[in-house]
Amino acid sequence: MSATLSIYLGSFDLIKKFESAIANMKGKFALCSGRYVVEARSVMGILSMDISRPIQLRISDSTETDIEILRQYCIQDTQI
pLDDT in tens, 20-58: 999 999 999 999 998 999 999 999 999 999 999 999 999
Q: Which domain holds residue 59?
A: 3-79
Confidence of residue 13 (pLDDT cuts 50, 70, 90): very high
Reported confidence tier of residue 70, pLDDT bands at 50, 70, 90 = very high
Q: For the residues 58-71, what does the mean pLDDT come to?
A: 93
The CATH number given to whatever domain includes residue 70 is 3.30.1340.10
The domain total for the chain is 1
With a cut of 50, say whether residue 80 has pLDDT above it: no
Q: How buried is 56 (Cβ within 10 angstroms: 0-12 exposed, 13-18 middle, 19+ buried)?
A: middle
